[in-house]
Structure 1
Amino acid sequence: MTLRDTAPTLHTLPPGPDFLDRAAVFVLDAFAAAGCDPGQGWVIAPNLHLAGELRRAIARAAGRPILLPRCDTLVRLAAAQPLPPGCPDPLPDSARLLLLRQALAGRPWFHDRALWHVAAELLNLFDELTAHAVRLPGSAEDFVARLEAAYRLTASQPLAMEARLVHELWRVLSDDPRPDSAAAHALRLGALAESANRPLVVVCERPWEGAEAEFLAAYARHAPLTVIHPAERAAVAAPLPRVLAAAWPAARNGDGAGERSVPPLAERARAVAAELAAASGVVTAASQAEPEVDTAATPSPAAASRPSDAPLSDRLALIPARGREAEARAATAQVLAWLGEGRTRLALIAQDRLTARRVRALLERYGVRVADETGWKLSTARAATLTDSLLEVALGQAGRHRSEAGGGQGGAYHRDVLDLAKSPFALADWPAGRREAAATALEKAVARANVRTGLDRFRRALAQEAERLGREGAAPAPSAEEQALAAAQDLLARIEEAINRLGRRAAPLPEWIGRLTWALEGLAALEPLSGDAAGEALLTLLATRAEELAGETLPFTLADFRQWLDRECEAETFRDRTIVSPVVMTHLAAALLRPFDGALILGGDAEQLAPPRPESAYFNQTVRRELGLPAPDGAARLEADLSLLIATVPRVTVTWQEERDGEARLLAPPLDRLSLLHRLAWGDDLKRSPLGLPEAPPPATLADLPLVPLPAPLAQAAPVLTPGDLPEALTVSALADLVACPYRFFARRVLRLGEADEVAEGLDKAGYGELIHGVLERFHGAHPVIAALAPEAALAELQAAVDEAFRPVVGDHYLSIAWRLRWEARLTAYLDWQRQREAAGWRWQAGEQAFARALPLADGGVVTLKGRIDRIDVHPDEGTALFDYKLKRIDALKKALPEDVQLPAYGWMAAEGLAAQGLAEVGQAAYVALDDASVGQVSVEGDPAAAGLAQAERLARAYADMRAGTPLPAHGSLNACAWCEAAGLCRTPHRE
């Protein structure tokens, strides 16, 4: 049944900017014809936004103070209606989901991880089946009878496996005497229609069908009913609807021809151009000559050359952009231009959410905030991150890892623990700053110890850090670092207490909710959560579900509870209602019929502005057809919505990315057809060039808003230091930074903005190098001269050292065996090189030895150069040799040696320490290449002592200049900039 089969009074109004004002007049006339005051009547609107607009329009139409009617949605109006007598309370959707998930668990059809998702899909299908089969029942008994009749009818038909599964489970849930949400809605609509005693006016975007249409017919039998909706575009003689009807003709059904009865686009363009020209007395190019159809549209002429009789030239603009940033800037410029024109009600229709976020950020730079009606998923809020991290930590401690990187370690994953520790809602009972300091100390400790999982391991890492501070010398009072380590220990204790409150025993969902709330209380998070909008929404969700599921006894594991809570947070939408702005972010359906001054559609390409796709992953359209469910015409619905938007809003702009990542992207097909038709008829394809962003926020309408200054133009980064800013001691690596790029030295060594250490998820090359250093130090410490060993014995001893070093690493992460095999393939080559060294008279002296040397400065200051030498050899005639192990090929080392700083600096730095040990002067400094098939060395050419002194003098000059105020410019080479984490500060790669 459709609206045309019902008895209500029907009014169709041409769509336009004044549609609501004209509809308001009909509303008042309808109440006057019914002989009642408007305050005694009801008005139904498609959504609450439009209901508010309609109330204001009615007040304007009355022209005097009146008692306004109740304006609401049909869903809210029906929800306030009691169920028929004798009908039990409805079964909440959360309880239905629980029952269905348990029914699926007893059947070996789906994986355990998919059960919640499949259950949710089935519930949506069940609601459609119930609504389609039952329509509008007169009573609870009538509802049951209709449901039984529908089941018997469908059960007699042959069905595929998926459809049979849906149908059988629908029957299982339908046997429950409590009505589901769809059934309760139908019952309430029936009761509302039977008890109708006041006039009702319905304002809608399109005619109703199904149970809603039956409701209108039933209501009209008891009380006056008026329905108002926009006329179809083909039924309106005005120019704009005629153009839209020509571009998007409705398929003519009934003759079997369907779309085949629609003339070609070029023919429709000529016809509508001639029709409108005849009505206005203007002769167009399209009416004089048949245009050549060229689907490769070109940019439109300038605004001055647009045809004055083109209906859409000043109403619709299609703006292509190359990339997301270009689209965001074009959209921002358009919004600012509209605001500058005095337009105070603008809609951002966010088909592309990523671009919409960027537009919002750009607008905020100009002091324009955006009221977001679409909201965002609760799962993305920080409040939900807190509960997710807590549950992940508990699962990790119970041995259930989210990441396979857990490897051979058991316990909570370090990233989950750190996410929990960094949550602004956790440990609100601590003094300000204590939780942040504790989280930082914990992060540094686990990175230094390279511990991935396990609260006990994290405690040991913190204890090791405390021992290290103690070895460096204890102060009279605990230092800030020591206090942070103590706070980190307390933090772990609080987290463990919260985990214990959660427990591991399987329990019903209401009990899990209670445990989670108790655990959050243990973390002192309930009060800050209740003070946050998203946190309050989360707590309300938990309380609501606990009340709905009270009495449920089905046990679930902690992993099941986490999956359930994830789905609940994913389905819940959170909106910040505190922002009031002339710019509203919304979606297409919610923008229809609303009196906006301008509407901007973000993401008008074929991929994003497309008919809604079925979200079902398991039950496709074929299954729906077998179940007797109608297949909605998404393309026609999209065209109708776009038509209504363009007819209602005086300025509509569509932006889309015509190119992304080097690939072309097409305009949405409905808009592409409209563009082509408009070009064929009037020579204007509606495509426009983007506006440029203003240099400053426009005045007038933005004067009341806080202004954010634009960033200053980019300039060469060249900070100036004072003597107190410079570190008193430098490593050899810091000296290399200073030589490579002064600004890098400033960022890393003065500001200490180097990248923070992270836990290695597996063995990387840096960790591999540390292991090799340790292997060689232990091997040579036990066997300084391998000539005393047989080749087989030397290889066995070195292999034993390798096994000992790699055993815990391989046990923790089995992929590390690849690194061990890589080194084992070079053991023989290394021993051959070592024998050559010994044959030449060199002997291993020491390994991994630290040195430091003070360097006096011309202005009386001192800087200390320090570092660690990988290996020291001695020779009775040639002096001392310093070696630095490199996991590189010898060719690469030879290429980099002329610009090398480290090797000469090592020689100067270690000279005094070597003399104190009674060793000769440095006669050789070299890198040892360990990553070739044959091990070799690359030595500093010339006198190592002279090269080292040159580096010391360079450091002295540089320090004297910096202490005197010489700027530190960013002038690194291309190679230096390619691997510099400070590039985002100096902006060198981004300057033109």
Structure 2
Amino acid sequence: MLSQALRPAATTDAWARLDPAERDRLVTLGLDGLSVVEAGDEREEALIAAIALRETLETPGRVAALVTPDRALAMRVAAELARWDIRAEDAAGQPLSGSLGGRLARLAAEFAVETVGPRIGNRQAQRLLALLAHPLVRLGMARPELVRGAAALEIGVLRGPALAPGFETLRGALAAAKTDTGRRPRPKRRLKDIDWELAEKLVAALEDAFKGFPGGAGALDLVAAGEAHRAVCEALLKGPEGDEEAAADPSLACLDSLFDELAFVDAGPMGGEFSDYPAFFAALADLRCVPDAHGAPHPRVRILGLAEARLLSCDRIVLGGLDEGVWPARMVTDSFLNRPMRERIGLDPPERQIGQGAHDFVGLLGHRDAVITRAQKREGAPTVQSRFLQRMRAFADQTHWEAVLTRGRRLAGLAARLDAGTEPPPPRLTQPRPRPDPALFPRALSVTEVETLVRDPYAIFARHVLGLDPLEPVAAPPGVGDRGTLIHAVLGRFAEAFPQGMPADADTRLAAIAEEVFAPVKAANPELYAEWWPRLQRLSEKFLPWEAERRAAGLRVHAEANGRWSIPMGDEVFVLKARADRIETRRDGGACLIDFKTGTPPSNREVFAGFSPQLTLEAAMLMAGAFKDIPAPGTVPDLLYVHASGGRTPLRERLLKPEKDEERDIAALVEEHAARLRGLVARFMTGKAAYVSRPYPKYVRYAGDYDHLARVLEWSLAGEGEA
């Protein structure tokens, strides 16, 4: 049957001359024992192939094998078999670059380029964490000690602003973080002395391990660098006395042999830049295969390539990856050797690979029990079934081919049942509304956190009740939030230096303060400095006249003023804290609260609806005398938003005032917000309110730090609410 189905295309007209009864007999006998499975994607195909292999093992003595030219499919099937504790013997092994030893060497080379080589980026922190997470790394320490030191190094130094490359910078940042006594995030405060000591020991060991790696700019002999690379790997693998676990991995012997060959190369030097070495090493490691020696393989299951499968037979054969481009492989026309040139020098044409693939396909289908699998999509893109399958389907009639597909659907059904499991489906996620013990509600919040309590109470629950703090990203590049912090610092320092009156050289003084504040950015991120500094200059040009106009009224400026307001709540006291950007007091006893915004200020509608109560609550605090050394004004202060972006409109002010259809004035609004604060806090302190996640999704302006914990995407997509 296969001889007829796969005959040359020019001779397929012979099918019409076959006797119908003879053709039916050929198809019936040829398709007997064959199953064809069309899976939805690569994952489902791998699971079906694993089930077909596993089913064979139910019969004592029967042997099963997977044959595929797709290495990714082979690894997926091996992983699926592991769920039944079946380790299939893979004849191809795995490339050295993908083994434990090879990954260690690659990570070491990449980290060296980022640390001791010329600066080509700022990925040192990511490379370092990946290297320390490798299970074979010891650096002369016990593995638990190294893991603890790496965690302390990550939380204490690497999370936050990116550091300049180099061990000297890393040591300096670690020493500064250890002795920092200022306001530190809670995760850093939880680190003990032993954690800092282990982190210091770890950095010292890393610096000692990489001291022999050639660095710097200029030409480098890539082959000669292999000896220094070997020394680094040995230092990374060296554990305390008696720890032999790291040295037992079989891939390390293959890695040693690669370094040995590099040491005995007789050819001339291979020049390149130091940044080329990781790619050079990875290319060499890809050419070496490490035999799979982790545990004893199952004696009756094998994973074979096309060449190995020609010599072996089994009771059930699974042919995987029957899609065009996989089996047969995609033909690639060489740009340097076209077909006539290949023919003149005696090379085979590309079509010979297709013929060889067809030969292997026919030979493997000689087994009595065969399963063919293919995926309708690979990497999200639709596929075309192999031309071999197309030929078989064209030769067989629809009735016989449907029987083949029906046998394949049985295996697909088993895979679906295995994925579904036997447990009842979990209930649909709902919007979380935790109600913990009311005593856990914090007795002190800032005005910013009060706004969070209104918009997303679940974030207050996660931070203050559960005690969870979001970690900063690793080596985070400065963003718009950092730019806002810098601008606030410049304007705040200027106001603190001159609380009354403007100096004659105000522009010079402001420029000096700005240069001092922006100096770290200029040193660490010159590209961002080149973008942010012109914005600050445009802002300064508008800020100084604006400031002079306001100072002409003889007011006094209080910058970055801290306030605490103790509010009696029955038998307890709730403390509202604030740090006002700027408070101006006038001679007539009036005052003005100013909030500088580098982003978009809240709209009047948001403020009057109670979703942005920052300025109104600060006004209530000021009138209650909550700001030290600032007298309470006789009337409600003016509330002013100043958009200080430095963009096309560098500085724009907006006085908070009622809309035309708004009956409340600012005094009534401040009083209402203070009363609503008392009521809101009382409901949480008595347990009547739940910490709902995103109760008002329309007014959620950005993704929260705890949205993943609240499973916002899941319950919102299920129709429980909006997100």
TM-score, with normalisation over the residues of structure 2? 0.77
Q: Which of 534, 542, 547 is residue 821 of structure 1 equivalent to? A: 534
Paired AA for residue 683 in structure 2: R
- Structure 1 residues 829 and 977, CA, compared in 2 at 3 Å: closer, same or farther? closer
Residue 101 of structure 2 contacts residue 251 of structure 2 at CA under 8 Å; is this kept in 1?
Answer: no
Secondary structure of the corresponding residue to residue 599 of structure 2: coil
Shift of 1:350: 5.6
- Separation in 1, partners of 2:198, 2:365: 60
Match of 1:957 in 2: 683
> Which structure has more RCO (C-alpha within 8 Å, separation ≥ 6)?
2
SS at match of 2:413: coil
Other-structure match for 1:769: 484
Structure 1 equivalent of residue 358 of structure 2: 639
Q: Deviations over 1:766-804 (max 9, x none)?
A: 222222122222333344467665xxx655654554444
| Structure 2 residue 670 is matched with structure 1 residue 944 | yes
Question: Residue 12 of structure 2 corresponds to which residue in structure 1?
Answer: 263
The range that moved more, 504-513 or 893-902, is: 504-513
Post-superposition shift, 1:666?
1.9
2:196 counterpart residue number = 485
* 1:768–1:819 CA contact under 8 A, matched in 2: yes
1:453 deviation in Å? Answer: 1.4
Task: Name which of structure 1's ranges 445-454 and 833-842 shifts more when overlaid on structure 2.
Answer: 833-842
- Distance in 1, matches of 2:326 and 2:447, equals 54
Kept after mapping to 1: 8 A contact 2:433/2:693: yes
Output the amino acid matched with 2:98: T
Q: Which runs of structure 2 are paired with 1:398-409 in the superposition (5 Å)? A: 398-401=116-119, 403-405=120-122
CA–CA distance in 2 between the matches of 1:826 and 1:771? 13
Alignment pair present for 1:917 and 2:632: no
Would you say the 8 A contact 2:499–2:558 is kept in 1? yes
Is residue 2:372 matched to residue 1:650? no
Please state whether the residue corresponding to 1:500 is helix, strand or coil.
Answer: coil
Q: Provide Cα deviations, 1:314-339, integer angstroms capped at 9, x if missing partner.
A: 61314142x55555666666667767
For 1:637, the aligned partner's letter is: Q
Given that residues 885 and 927 in structure 1 are in contact (C-alpha distance below 8 angstroms), is that contact kept between their aligned partners in structure 2? yes
1:935 aligned counterpart, secondary structure: strand
CA contact (8 A) 2:562 2:580 kept: yes
Residues 372 and 584 of structure 1 are in contact (CA less than 8 Å); yes or no, is this contact kept in structure 2? yes
Distance 2:379 2:131 in 1: 37
Q: Residues of 2 paired with 1:353 and 1:619: CA distance?
A: 27
Q: Within the alignment, does 1:450 sit opposite 2:176 as a pair?
A: no
Q: Secondary structure at the match of 2:559?
A: strand
- Residues 237 and 247, structure 2, Cα contact 8 Å, conserved in 1: no
Query: What pairs up with 1:74-93 in 2 under 5 angstroms?
Result: none
Query: Which residue, out of 287, 292, 296, partners 1:571?
Result: 287
Query: For 1:846, what is the secondary structure of its paired residue?
Result: strand
Q: What secondary structure does 2:193 align onto?
A: helix
Structure 1 SS opposite 2:38: strand
- Cα deviation code 1:488-539 (max 9, x no counterpart): 2222111111122445699988975554444444445368996358844124
Alpha carbons 2:42, 2:377 under 8 Å: kept = no
Q: Is the 8 A contact 2:96 2:288 kept in 1?
A: yes
Indicate if the aligned counterparts of 1:612 and 1:634 stay in contact, CA closer than 8 A.
no
Aligned residues: 681
Q: Is contact 1:441-1:484 (8 Å) kept? A: yes
User: Any conservation in 2 of the 1:857–1:863 contact (CA below 8 Å)?
Assistant: yes
Distance 1:636 1:366 in 2: 37
Over the residues paired in the alignment, what is the CA RMSD in angstroms? 4.7
What is the one-letter code of the residue matched to 1:525? K
Counterpart for residue 537 of structure 1: 251
CA distance in 2 between counterparts of 1:861 and 1:586 reads 74
Offset from partner CA, 1:801-828 (integer Å, 9 cap, x none): 4444445424533431223334444444
Please tell me whether residue 380 in structure 1 is matched to residue 98 in structure 2.
yes
Matched, 1:246 2:4: yes
Say which SS state the counterpart of residue 595 (structure 2) adopts: strand
* Residues 1:607 and 1:754: Cα distance change in structure 2 (over 3 Å): farther
Q: Cα deviations across residues 162-198 of structure 1 (Å, max 9, x unaligned)?
A: xxxxxxxxxxxxxxxxxxxxxxxxxxxxxxxxxxxxx
Contact 1:603 1:657 in 2 (8 A): no
How far does residue 343 in structure 1 lie from its aligned partner after superposition?
10
CA–CA distance in structure 2, aligned partners of residues 539 and 417 of structure 1: 24
CA distance in 1, matches of 2:5, 2:178: 75
| TM-score, with length taken from structure 1 | 0.58
Q: 1:540 to 1:783 in 2, by over 3 A?
A: same
- The equivalent of 1:845 in structure 2 is 558
Q: Is 1:812 paired with 2:521? A: no
Counterpart of 2:703, as a letter, is W
Q: How does 1:579-598 map to 2 (within 5 A)?
A: 580-581=297-298, 584-592=302-310, 594-598=312-316
Q: How far apart, CA to CA, are the structure 1 residues paired with 2:698 and 2:289?
A: 47
Q: Pick from 472, 496, 508 the counterpart of residue 757 of structure 1.
A: 472
Pair 500,936 (structure 1): closer, same or farther in 2 beyond 3 Å: same
Q: Structure 1: which 5+ runs fail to align?
A: 1-241, 252-258, 281-307, 407-412, 473-477, 699-706
Other-structure match for 1:979: 703
Output the amino acid matched with 1:955: V
SS of alignment partner, residue 651 of structure 1: strand
User: Which residue of the other structure, out of 630, 633, 637, is the alignment partner of 2:348?
Assistant: 630
8 Å CA contact 2:434–2:692 kept in 1: the answer is: yes
Report the counterpart of residue 393 of structure 2 in structure 1: 675
Aligned amino acid, residue 641 of structure 1 = D
Counterpart-to-counterpart distance in 1, 2:483 and 2:289:
47
1:990 equivalent in alignment to 2:714: yes
Once the two structures are TM-superposed, the CA of residue 855 in structure 1 deviates from its matched residue by 5.9
Is 2:642–2:654's contact at 8 Å kept on the other side of the alignment? Answer: yes
CA pair 440-544 structure 1, distance change in 2 beyond 3 A: closer
Q: Residues 199-223 of structure 1: CA distance to partner in whole angstroms, max 9, x if unpaired?
A: xxxxxxxxxxxxxxxxxxxxxxxxx
Name the SS for the 1:634 alignment partner.
helix
Q: C-alpha offsets along residues 7-50 of structure 1, whole Å, 9 cap, x if unaligned? A: xxxxxxxxxxxxxxxxxxxxxxxxxxxxxxxxxxxxxxxxxxxx
Question: Is the 1:843–1:874 Cα contact (8 Å) retained in structure 2?
Answer: yes
- Structure 1 residue matching 2:687: 3-state secondary structure: helix
Distance 2:486 2:554 in 1: 28
Change (3 A) 1:862 1:914: closer
Look up the equivalent residue of 2:684 and give its one-letter code.
A
Does the 8 A contact of 1:598 with 1:649 survive in 2? yes
- The structural deviation recorded for 1:656 is 0.9
Q: What secondary structure sits across from 1:916 in the alignment? A: coil
Q: 1:659 to 1:631 in 2, by over 3 A?
A: closer
- What is the deviation of 1:424? 3.3
Asked if structure 1 preserves the Cα contact closer than 8 Å seen for 2:66 and 2:317, the reply is: yes
Query: Contact (CA 8 Å) 2:115, 2:166: kept in 1 or not?
Result: yes
Cα–Cα, structure 1 residues 900 and 753, in superposed 2: closer, same or farther, change >3 Å? same
Contact 2:447 2:618 survives alignment (8 Å): yes
The aligned amino acid for 2:471 is A
Deviations 1:385-437 (A, max 9, x none): 33333334444444334x4347xxxxxx2333333333333336435643223
Identity rate, percent: 22
- Aligned-residue offset at 1:652: 0.9
Residues 617 and 670 of structure 2 are in contact (CA less than 8 Å); yes or no, is this contact kept in structure 1?
Answer: no
Check whether the contact 2:319–2:370 (CA below 8 A) recurs between aligned residues: no
**Which amino acid in 2 is paired with 1:485?**
W
CA distance in 1, matches of 2:224, 2:712: 57
